[in-house]
């Protein structure tokens, strides 16, 4: 649990198969209505069916995972008061099989002094604490006290003597306090060789894990530290340490240290990193993976000259030539080669500009380079400068000193439009003329609505300028612009936690001729609880937003076809563009800084044409999951048979507060059985769904076998394989297809989630860019998630778990796992198998429908 998160809230083709199949119902499970509107609990459109969710309110990190008296306990970070982050407490659920869960009352509550951040739980069988007895040993929770005053974080205890149903906080809290505001998430276990308790806890911003020892859970002694190591782009959180046998050999035990990182994960944002090594009772030592040497090649720009040579600049951000390192006001810059690099911090984060190469002919398979600076990805459809509005009809420009015949409620809008930045507000920019709507009138504490008169939708688009807070319509406390037709919200948009206004656009062609109103809503009193709006208009053309990227782009035929961004770090790291689709084409490299906010700069160096891709620190690190939505992963203690089961929060801090679910927000992954396996000569942590998940399979599977697919995509099996909650197993034999796999939750309008295998890169991938609702946050749909996966004897094996709002993909022996949320149309339930640019053989596929964990 990171206080950094708080600040972010405050300051997203086969031939038809002929096979014997078991007829399974694929009817849509529509939400069931209840009196007074809404839907019955657990039947809402995106409600997971076999992933645990609380009935209502916000949930994040799993906590306190322990097995005791026939029950697996799942505690979790929980807000008792709403479905946004806040008032962190421990929710509680139990299960006898890690599949069927029962939600219990709140376990540990926040209070006026502290929030209850992440931690662990143990069964104190020897009553070392004195909280119970040997006959009735206490369960003890070790959690982080996040003190409201001053922000200090320290480790505290609570105990239960009734199987975790009621809890008492220890009067001697905290039991471990080093005076830090970044010291959290203790994982505690009994370490038998020393007959003592072992704590693994994070020094988050230092990218370190500390190990402590105690005889009684109250008095702790420092043993050692580990880190920094591996990926360090964000804070380290929720560590876990446990032993596993390699390839099932009990005589070959290695230790696994899991360190969750946010941001800076392999797919962007949050992720679960791990290290394999040894633990001697005091110190963890990771296996030495050696030094990294990138592939050789032809250097096309190394920025070692006095100027940029034939590369051209615009504006001022890149200065008159390469930088020699850090610039005035900048932190230390590292990771570049030689004496120079491109650095857009000239003038600080407020300056913008571009640095562009001459046109060249693509002649190598890869372009490798180093990149650093801000993490602001390129977004398609953006422009470099805000041009004039498209031609059309202005509904409101908020000029003239009044709101005219618009209707107000509340106190957020004042008597008249604002003329720019308000007191105590950061600078507001990007509006047109002299007036705009700005609900920061009394700071973030004011609320209200502003509603337009009725107008006719007689053009294809509604365009408007918007800035301010990112709190989507439909959430508990939105800051949003809404389009109302017949009194219902049919379109909405929100800000991006930035004061600069930028164009947003709604396609309303399907609403032609209807009467509508525009409503501006500020119902948020927290951080970024305000909205800036201007120049609402009807037009047949879509307004194009201005870029806010800090990126390196490859431009072919005038379009950005490859892009990379920094990791909010002044240390440059290797990345690579795959140029193979563009061999022989004319291209340009463009380094872009269009961002004026925090980390609003970009660093680049050592552009090299090469035959093989360079790998970044992220790509060289080890990951328990390569998707965007697996974080705070920790494991159960005391599981029967010495098994090691792990679960993660199925979300990402980039957009966790914006996902379109209500009245709950947050889900847990399927629990996974973890193992260490030797794969391609390297010991890897693998995961597979717990065996008890099979108990949710309904009837016999629909099956297909021996089907050759060539450059097409068609239904897999047919209606029997359709559904919103599916368990799919598929084995493919490689032929000559470049890419192949499955498409799930396919529907009208091109909706699909693509689960594929790229034979050219030997990578498993998930593409959710067309998976349904993807526009609620700018980072939700960016990129395709990939995981390295080599074929085994010419075959690729997949297991895919499809739920109402997620996919979990397990490749091979579980060494390649990708977990992603999706929010598709409930009617989109088809499954397809596909092959691109060649053929693949589907050896066998089996599809089960899955029931609910509440059944």
Residue 206 per-residue DSSP state:
G
Chain-centre distance for alpha carbon 414 = 37
Task: With beta carbons less than 8 A apart as the criterion, state whether 408 and 449 touch.
Answer: yes
**Residue from 354, 347, 343 nearest 313 by CA:** 354
DSSP assignment of 28-72: --PPPB-TTSSB-TT-STT--SSS---SSEEEEEEEEEEEETTEE
Dihedral sign for Cα 172, 175, 180, 181, please. Answer: negative
Which listed residue (61, 185, 502, 622) is catalytic?
61
Tokens 């720009």 belong to residue = 301
Active site residue 61: yes
Tokens 């009734």 belong to residue = 162
Rounded alpha-carbon distances, angstroms, from residue 146 to 118, 177, 179: 10, 11, 12
Reported in sequence order, the residue ranges of 215-343 that DSSP labels E, i.e. its strands, are 221-226, 235-246, 249-262, 271-279, 284-286, 297-301, 312-315, 342-343
Rounded alpha-carbon distances, angstroms, from residue 585 to 202, 360, 374: 49, 8, 30
DSSP assignment of 485-530: ETTEEEEEEE--SEEEEEEEEEE-GGGTT-EEEEEEEE---STT--
Q: How many CB atoms sit inside 10 A of residue 617's CB?
A: 18
Answer left, alpha or beta for residue 339, where phi above 0 means left and psi between -120 and 50 means alpha: alpha
Q: How many CB atoms sit inside 10 A of residue 112's CB?
A: 6
Pairing mode, strands 114-123 and 139-147: antiparallel
Cis peptide before 174 (omega within 30 of 0): yes
Tokens at residue 852, please? 């609910």
Task: With beta carbons less than 8 A apart as the criterion, state whether 629 and 820 touch.
Answer: yes
**Residue from 745, 718, 760 nearest 800 by CA:** 745
Alpha-carbon distance of 756 to 730, in angstroms, equals 11
Bridge partners of 816, per DSSP, are 811
* First and final C-alpha spacing in the chain: 32
Pairing mode, strands 57-68 and 664-665: parallel
Tokens 């649990």 belong to residue = 1
Q: 32-71 burial by CB neighbour count: b if 16+ within 10 A, else e?
A: eeeeeeebebbbbbbbbbbbbbbeebbbbbbbbbbbbeee
Rounded alpha-carbon distances, angstroms, from residue 584 to 40, 361, 578, 590: 58, 6, 14, 19
User: Helix (H, G, I), strand (E, B), or coil: what is residue 121?
Assistant: strand
Alpha-carbon distance of 664 to 84, in angstroms, equals 9
Cis peptide before 263 (omega within 30 of 0): yes
**Residue from 92, 88, 12 nearest 651 by CA:** 12
Which residues are designated catalytic? 61
């Amino acid at each position: 649990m990171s206080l950094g998160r708080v600040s972010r809230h405050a300051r997203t083709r086969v031939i038809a198969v002929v096979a014997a199949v078991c007829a399974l119902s694929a009817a849509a499970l529509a939400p069931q209505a209840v009196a007074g509107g809404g839907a019955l609990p657990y039947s809402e459109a995106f409600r997971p069916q076999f992933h645990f969710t609380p009935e209502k309110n916000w949930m994040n990190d799993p906590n306190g995972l322990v097995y005791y008296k026939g029950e697996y306990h799942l505690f979790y970070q929980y807000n008792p008061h709403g479905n946004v982050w806040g008032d962190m407490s421990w929710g509680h659920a139990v299960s006898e099989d890690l599949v069927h869960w029962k939600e219990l009352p709140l376990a540990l509550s926040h209070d006026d002094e502290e929030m209850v951040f992440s931690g662990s739980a143990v069964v104190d069988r020897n009553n070392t604490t004195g909280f119970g007895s040997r006959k009735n040993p206490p369960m003890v929770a070790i959690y982080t006290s996040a003190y409201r005053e001053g922000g200090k974080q320290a480790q505290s205890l609570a105990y239960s003597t009734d199987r975790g149903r009621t809890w008492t906080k220890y009067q001697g809290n905290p039991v471990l306090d080093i005076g830090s505001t970044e010291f959290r998430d203790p994982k505690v276990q009994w370490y038998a060789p020393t007959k003592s308790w072992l704590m693994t806890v994070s020094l988050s911003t230092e990218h370190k894990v500390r190990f402590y020892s105690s005889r009684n859970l109250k008095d702790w002694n420092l043993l050692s530290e580990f880190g920094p190591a591996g990926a360090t782009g964000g804070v380290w959180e929720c560590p876990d340490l446990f032993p596993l046998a390699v390839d099932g050999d009990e005589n070959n035990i290695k230790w696994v240290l899991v360190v969750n990182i946010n941001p800076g994960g392999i797919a962007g944002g949050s992720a679960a990193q791990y290290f394999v090594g040894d633990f001697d009772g005091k110190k963890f030592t990771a296996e030495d993976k050696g030094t990294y040497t990138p592939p050789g090649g032809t250097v096309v720009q190394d920025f070692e000259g006095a100027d940029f040579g034939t590369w051209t600049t615009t504006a001022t951000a890149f200065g008159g030539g390469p930088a020699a390192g850090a610039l005035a006001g900048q932190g230390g810059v590292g990771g570049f080669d030689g004496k120079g690099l491109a650095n857009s911090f000239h003038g600080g984060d407020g300056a913008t500009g571009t640095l562009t190469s001459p046109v060249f002919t693509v002649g190598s398979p890869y372009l490798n380079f180093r990149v650093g600076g801000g993490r602001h990805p390129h977004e398609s459809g953006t422009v470099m400068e805000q041009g004039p509005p498209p031609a059309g009809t202005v509904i409101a420009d908020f000029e003239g000193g009044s709101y005219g015949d618009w209707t107000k409620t509340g106190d957020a809008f004042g008597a008249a439009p604002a003329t720019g930045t308000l007191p105590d507000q950061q600078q507001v920019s990007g509006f047109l003329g002299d007036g705009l709507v700005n609900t920061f009138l009394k700071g973030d504490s004011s609320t209200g609505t502003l509603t337009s008169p009725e107008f006719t939708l007689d053009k294809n688009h509604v365009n408007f300028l918007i800035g301010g807070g990112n709190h989507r319509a439909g959430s508990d406390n939105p800051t949003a612009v809404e389009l109302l037709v017949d009194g219902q919200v049919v379109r909405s948009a929100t800000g991006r936690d930035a004061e600069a206004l930028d164009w947003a656009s709604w396609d309303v062609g399907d609403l032609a001729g209807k009467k509508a109103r525009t409503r501006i809503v500020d119902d948020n009193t927290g951080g970024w609880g305000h909205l800036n709006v201007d120049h609402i208009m009807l037009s047949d053309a879509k307004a194009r937003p201005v870029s806010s990227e800090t990126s390196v782009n490859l431009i072919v035929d005038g379009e950005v076809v490859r892009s990379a961004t920094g990791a909010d770090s002044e240390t440059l790291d290797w990345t690579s563009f795959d140029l193979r689709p563009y061999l022989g084409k004319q291209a340009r490299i463009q380094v872009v800084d269009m961002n004026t906010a925090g980390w609003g700069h970009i660093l680049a160096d050592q552009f090299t044409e090469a035959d093989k891709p360079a790998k970044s620190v992220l790509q060289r690190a080890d990951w328990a999951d390569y998707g965007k939505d697996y974080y705070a992963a920790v494991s159960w203690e005391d599981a029967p048979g010495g098994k090691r089961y792990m679960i993660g929060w199925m979300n990402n801090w980039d957009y966790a507060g914006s996902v379109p679910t209500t009245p709950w927000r947050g889900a847990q992954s399927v629990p996974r059985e973890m193992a260490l396996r030797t794969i391609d000569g390297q010991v890897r942590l693998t995961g597979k769904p717990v065996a008890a998940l099979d108990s949710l399979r309904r009837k016999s599977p629909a099956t297909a076998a021996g089907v050759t697919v060539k450059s097409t995509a068609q239904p897999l099996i047919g209606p029997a394989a359709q559904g919103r909650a599916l368990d799919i197993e598929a084995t493919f034999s490689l032929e000559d297809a470049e890419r192949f796999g499955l498409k799930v939750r396919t529907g009208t309008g091109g909706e699909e989630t693509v689960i594929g295998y790229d034979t050219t890169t030997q990578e498993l991938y998930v593409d959710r860019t067309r998976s349904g609702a993807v526009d609620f946050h700018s980072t939700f749909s960016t990129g395709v998630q990939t995981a390295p996966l080599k074929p085994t004897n010419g075959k690729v094996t997949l297991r895919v778990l499809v739920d109402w709002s997620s996919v979990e993909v397990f490749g091979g022996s579980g060494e390649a796992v990708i977990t992603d949320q999706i929010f598709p149309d409930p009617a989109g339930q088809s499954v397809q198998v596909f092959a691109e640019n060649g053929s693949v053989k589907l050896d066998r596929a089996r599809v089960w429908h899955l029931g609910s964990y509440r059944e």
